[in-house]
Chain A
Amino acid sequence: MGKDLIGLIVLLLALAGGGAVYLKAPPPAPWSDAERKAIQSLSLATLPSLPSDPSNAVSDHPAAQRFGHSLFFDARLSANGAVSCATCHQPALRFTDGLPRAVGLAVGTFNTMSLVGAAYSPWFFWNGRQDSLWGQATSPLESPIEQGVSRAEATRLIAGDPSYRAAYEALFGPLPPLPSEASGTEQEEAAVTRAFVNIAKAIAAYERLLLPGETRFDRYAASLRQDGPTVPDAQLTHQEAAGLRLFIGKAQCINCHNGPLLTNHEFHNTGVLPAIGALPDKGRAEGARLVLDDPFNCFSAHSDDAAKDCAELRFMRTGDDLVAAQKTPSLRNLKGTAPYMHAGQIGTLAEALDHYNRAQDAIVGHNEAKPLGLLPYELKRLEAFLNTLDGPLATAPEWLAPP
């Protein structure tokens, strides 16, 4: 009787807060057909090769990739000569910066999004306020709190650097004449804007090379596809496999974090609190308005796509019900990309999981997530699974350092 009581007490203690420590996951039950299908849908093997970007005529041009590579790491493209694209998009941190909010010339409003796999998305920035990778690259260059260079200054840098000038002119033709300070005609300014856009298109050609590589999860998924364990390092621990089962099932993570990049590229309000001292962000409601007015959007003359299909933009949902909705980020390479959320409000994966588990009311708009009621040991399992999504980039090492 005493023994039974002690056993019961131990069990109850284990089930309470500290349960995660004691309740190691048992060997996983065999996957159902639906689970197998869901696992494969998340596998990198199902990622199609990157489609060409018809809005950027040099998107896959090797000379543009090399030119963009140099530009990406060049801090001369900033008002103080100290901020490059790579200041916030650091290769060692999966092209993020480890900060809650980006710091360029000043502290920004948003958390730096990773560039890895970004080329697959129809929308850029947390609120999707631009619709192409090159359009995205124009923003930080001109932003007074990021790099803060004018279109003419950026063009002048290219004109004054013989190797840049040669690279530019081989790709895009002669550089335009640079108007003297503030006296340019409308035509001269338009020519400088075209040159500025070309600079951004070269940067985008480089950024398209930044792609996610195989992770332990992907090897596990591959091993499930084959007969017998022929894939090396393909095993997940019981804990990780139990987390995967939650991810595609009870925890509903896969609703938004779907497909091989673990994002649906869409916008959701999940009740994330604003950064301390900041007003709530308007999110996609504002981003949708901005992208329609963006002078570099898919409809603009700067897009090289003669067909101007622009289906995503033409059929984009707009409206106030998108308030506070932010873009679903990829869950690949989470280890290097903390802190999380649009203003870096959440520091760790455990806190992020706790946030979704509680799914408290949003202070603006409504939280699309519902409370999950997961127990601490289940959250630990999810966290263990998320850590299997870390892997090297599928990008040659020479691209990951300054040229």
Chain B
Amino acid sequence: MNALLALLLLALSAAQPSASTFAEAVWPTPDPASAQTTRLGRYRISYAPSLQPIEINRIHAWVAQVMDADGNPVAGATISITGGMPDHDHGLPTAPRATAYLGEGRYLIEGMRFHMGGAWEVVLNVKSGAGDDALSIPLDL
């Protein structure tokens, strides 16, 4: 009985690898053609959420690809995430962070969740040798 349960659990866990386990997960790849220029023009950033379309109340991850103004990938940048709902005067319900560098200027951002429908703004703040800059991304959920 116990052995059967253990087998069942093993089969279940094998069939459903945790999508968010870093080592196993296949993260989305941002489309470079969708890149947007940051406020001061220092970077071009494209991004891809792991949840498409984004749904409210579900925690998920984003991948952001950061290129410099000449189109070269930016490694070693510090990325921080802020934002909120401008109309409601509140911030994000979670504290998302960049948790890994995936190569080629791509950063894994975990802990994204939106808890209301409506107009959101996500701000990706980038710090690197090329200077500080930020991209504001409007979302309508």
Q: Which residues of A contact B (CB under 8 A)?
A: 38, 41, 52, 54, 57, 61, 122, 170-171, 173, 254-256, 258-259, 264-266, 305-307, 309, 311-312, 314-318, 368
Contacts and interface: CB of A to CB of B under 8 A. Distances in A.
A303 to B, nearest CB: 13
B5 interface: yes
B9 A311 contact: no
Nearest to A368: B90
B32 interface: no
B93 interface: yes
Given A170-B1, A317-B95, A309 B20 contact: yes
Given A258-B56, A258-B117, 20 more contacts: A57-B9, A170-B1, A170-B2, A173-B2, A255-B88, A255-B117, A255-B118, A256-B116, A258-B57, A258-B115, A258-B116, A264-B116, A265-B57, A309-B21, A311-B59, A314-B110, A314-B111, A315-B95, A315-B96, A368-B90
29 contacts: A38-B117, A41-B117, A52-B12, A52-B16, A54-B13, A54-B18, A61-B5, A122-B59, A254-B117, A256-B116, A258-B57, A258-B117, A259-B57, A265-B57, A306-B13, A307-B21, A309-B20, A311-B20, A311-B59, A312-B59, A312-B94, A315-B95, A315-B97, A315-B111, A315-B113, A316-B95, A317-B92, A318-B95, A368-B88
A59 to B, nearest CB: 10
A315 B94 contact: yes
A126 B57 CA distance: 17
Contact of B110 (A38, A255, A265, A311): A311
Contacts of A265: 57, 115
Interface of B: 1-2, 5, 9, 12-13, 16, 18, 20-21, 56-57, 59, 88, 90, 92-97, 110-111, 113, 115-118
A205 to B, nearest CB: 13
B56 A316 contact: no
Contacts of B1: 170
Contact of B93 (A170, A255, A317): A317
Candidate in A122, A305, A314 with the most chain B CB atoms within 10 angstroms: A314
B64 to A, nearest CB: 16
Nearest to B24: A307
A264 B5 contact: no
Contacts of A318: 95
Q: Sorted from nearest, which 6 A-B pairs have the closest CB atoms?
A: A315-B111, A264-B115, A307-B18, A266-B115, A309-B20, A307-B21
A332 to B, nearest CB: 15
Contacts of B111: 311, 314-315
Nearest to B5: A61
B63 to A, nearest CB: 15
A41 B56 CA distance: 10
Nearest to A60: B12
A315 B59 contact: yes
A311 B5 CA distance: 27
A68 to B, nearest CB: 16
A170 B2 CA distance: 7
Contacts of A171: 5
Nearest to B118: A255
Nearest to A57: B9
Candidate in A41, A254, A307 with the most chain B CB atoms within 10 angstroms: A307
Contacts of A57: 9
Nearest to A254: B117
A318 B95 CA distance: 8
